[in-house]
Amino acid sequence: MRWMWIDRVVELERGRRLVAIKNISLAEEHLHDHFEAAPGRAALPVMPASLVIEGMAQTAGILVGHAEDFREKVILAKVSRAEIDVDPVPGFTIRYTATVEQMDAAGASTTGLVELIDPARPDRPPMPMGRIDLMFSHIDQNLAGHTFPEHNFVFGEGFKTLLRTSGIDVPA
Amino acid sequence: MLSRDEILSKIKTVLADSLAVDEDDIRPESTLTGDLGAESIDFLDIGFRIDKAFGIKIQQGELFPENAAQDPTLVKDGKVTPEGLTRLKARLPHFDFTGFEKDPQLAKIAQIFTVDALVKFVEAKLAKQG
């Protein structure tokens, strides 16, 4: 099963913009190691930046894949920029907004805004957390001479389930 | 119409952003892969950024040669054929093939991908646009 780093798609404008959220939960085991208590220091559970980037890659990847009805195998090719200024901690919700910057037959570039929602302060707007810009390759178009399986292994059941539970129609 | 220096200056910004190199280290004769550390996926990124920086639309295969290795009329036994050279020169006039054609091994083709070639490409594209 694919390790999903977003919980729900909340907005989708085909080929243009997708917003997804991720609830950070203390039930996630890795938070107990990142960072565990050490002599002279209490435990500090923080969602690792690498997983925040993966969350944006899934958000933007779905946006790029959806634009072509998931016919292309969309692979993360490059992290063009990643700035994370606030620690995401359990009990908060990350809001990912991915926007297509450019897209053609070979791939796409996206810009991404990361925000943090504090459920204890629903009156406050999401606070800026960082920015993650990415590049995606449609691998069948770029790795000439290499062959890949016919079926789209990128957008497997995990993604389809996520989209369905978010109320978005996906091909069977 | 932008001057050659203005185009070079914008290309330097594009490359500095895409490849995380210092603009001062980018010279017209710099090669994208050898001197500036570009990898294959960076070519797609550079194309996108040039599109945006100059407001032009680059078609697939117009800026860099693509899928040459899969075409037996272009490449045979790892070398670009005489017919292949003629076709590549016609399709990609912004590249200087002078040094490459003396020993046209496909593996060495990256030596023609220079900053100056990108400037020439943009210059020709803008001139066509009018």
Determine the pLDDT at residue A42. 94
Local confidence pLDDT in tens for the 130 residues of chain B: 899 999 999 999 999 999 999 999 999 999 999 999 999 889 999 999 999 999 999 988 899 887 777 778 888 888 999 999 999 999 999 999 999 999 999 889 989 999 999 999 999 999 988 7
Please indicate if any CB of chain B lies within 8 Å of the CB of A102. yes
Average pLDDT of chain A, as a whole number: 91
A74 membership: H or E segment, kind and range? strand A74-84
Question: Are the Cβ atoms of A144 and B52 closer than 8 angstroms?
Answer: no
- Closest-CA residue to A159 (of A171, A145, A147): A171
Which residues of chain B make contact with A80, given a CB cutoff of 8 A?
17-18, 45
The residue segments making up the domain with residue B100 are 4-129
**B48 at the A interface (CB within 8 A)?**
yes
> Is pLDDT above 80 for A145?
no
Q: Are A88 and A46 in contact (CB under 8 A)?
A: yes
Q: Does B45 touch chain A (CB under 8 A)?
A: yes
Mean pLDDT of A43-64: 96
Average pLDDT rounded to a whole number, residues A91-119:
96
**Which tokens in the block code for residue B5?**
């220096």
The predicted pLDDT at position A142 comes to 64
Q: Please list every residue in chain A whose beta carbon sits closer than 8 Å to the beta carbon of residue B18.
A: 80
Q: Higher model confidence: residue A124 or residue A139? A: A124
Q: Which domains does chain A have, with CATH numbers?
A: 8-157 (3.10.129.10)
Q: In CATH, what number is assigned to the domain containing residue B76?
A: 1.10.1200.10
Average pLDDT in the A28-33 region? 92
Residue in chain A closest to B52 (alpha carbons) equals: A102
Q: Can you give the pLDDT at residue B130?
A: 73
- Across the interface, do B70 and A144 touch by the CB < 8 Å criterion? yes
Hey, which residues of A are catalytic here?
A: 34
Residue in B closest to A143 by C-alpha: B67
Helix, coil or strand: residue A42:
coil
The whole-angstrom separation of Cα A34 and Cα A44 is 7
Residue range A138-166: mean pLDDT, rounded: 76
Please tell me the total count of domains within chain B.
Answer: 1
Decide if A137 and B48 are in contact by the 8 Å CB cutoff: no
% chain A with pLDDT above 70: 92
- pLDDT of B95: 94
- Hey, is B84 helix, strand or coil? helix
